[in-house]
Amino acid sequence: MIREMTGAELRMAVDWAAEEGWNPGLGDIDAFLAEDPGAFLLAEEAGRPLSCISAVRYGQDFGFIGFYIAAPGARGQGHGMAVWQAAMARLSGRVIGLDGVVAQQENYRKSGFTLAWNNARYMAREPLLPPPPEDLIPAAALPFADLLAYDATCFGLPRPGFLRAWLDTPGHVALALPGLAGYAVARPCRDGSRVGPLFADTAEGARALLAGLSAALPGTLALDVPGDHAAAVALAHSVGMEKTFETARMYTGKPPAMARAKLFGITSYELG
């Protein structure tokens, strides 16, 4: 049987993600549900959870698949395919995006996905960053409508439910540049912190935001970078971050129109 997941089951799915090495955020669940409460699906048999997936609806025309995991001991038995088909059905009629394991690209192609670019996670135990500039602004101090518009320019479409929750989640740090020339969020995770998104008009602005986030959440910092954005990759290298793994960003049709030059770090592999 495939059905929507309960809150307790969502915590289980986050635990599965942690076991896969995805390093989920400590407060991800509520924010992930804010945009589309029915997005998380579970396959079960006789009360035993077997596999899960998220299929988030954005607006009327776009969706994103993530959290695609089969439980240990339930793999190779078709349970993953069952939730995959349910997710694709839930997003039927929309352009669908995902960040998949690079080695699985051929399987995703069979479902109609085409490679757009690769994303890569970069990490550093102590990023080599200067003290942050004093003119950084708490993102929550800005008019939400302005922040939503900037985010939509970079992400490709508005996501008001998610963005408000992402900014308000306890433990999250959200900073903006003067004149809203960029903004970024970092969140505590099982291991250190993850930055996402990191949107900025310039590489200098992205560096300033990264410095502010690193100062607020010292220690290990991870950033998921579009691999074809040379300035973003150069920024990650310049602060001592090392590439740890890569994903394939794929779509079933034309991707949303996003300001790719401003994408110094995507929001998450789970929701795009």
Question: Tokens for 88?
Answer: 């694709």
Go through 69-82 and write b for each residue having 16 or more CB atoms within 10 A of its CB, e for each that does not: bbbeebeeeebbeb
Predicted local distance difference test score (pLDDT) of residue 63: 97
Go through 13-33 and write b for each residue having 16 or more CB atoms within 10 A of its CB, e for each that does not: bbebbeeeebbbbebbbebbb
Q: For residue 51, what pLDDT band results from cuts at 50, 70 and 90?
A: confident
How far does Cα 106 stand from its chain's mean position? 22
7-18 pLDDT, tens per residue? 778 888 788 777
Q: What is the mean pLDDT of residues 108-115?
A: 95
pTM higher than 0.85: yes
Q: d(Cα 252, Cα 111) in Å, to the nearest integer?
A: 8
Q: What is the mean pLDDT of residues 38-61?
A: 86
148 and 199 Cβ atoms separated by less than 8 Å: no
The domains of the chain, with CATH numbers, are 2-119 (3.40.630.30), 121-246+256-265 (3.40.630.90)
* Percentage of the chain lying above the pLDDT 90 cut: 70
Q: For residue 75, what pLDDT band results from cuts at 50, 70 and 90?
A: low
226-256 pLDDT, tens per residue? 999 999 999 999 999 999 999 999 999 999 9
55-64, 66-75, 137-146: segment of lowest average pLDDT:
66-75
Per the model's pLDDT, the better-predicted residue between 199 and 100 turns out to be 199
Q: For residue 77, what pLDDT band results from cuts at 50, 70 and 90?
A: low
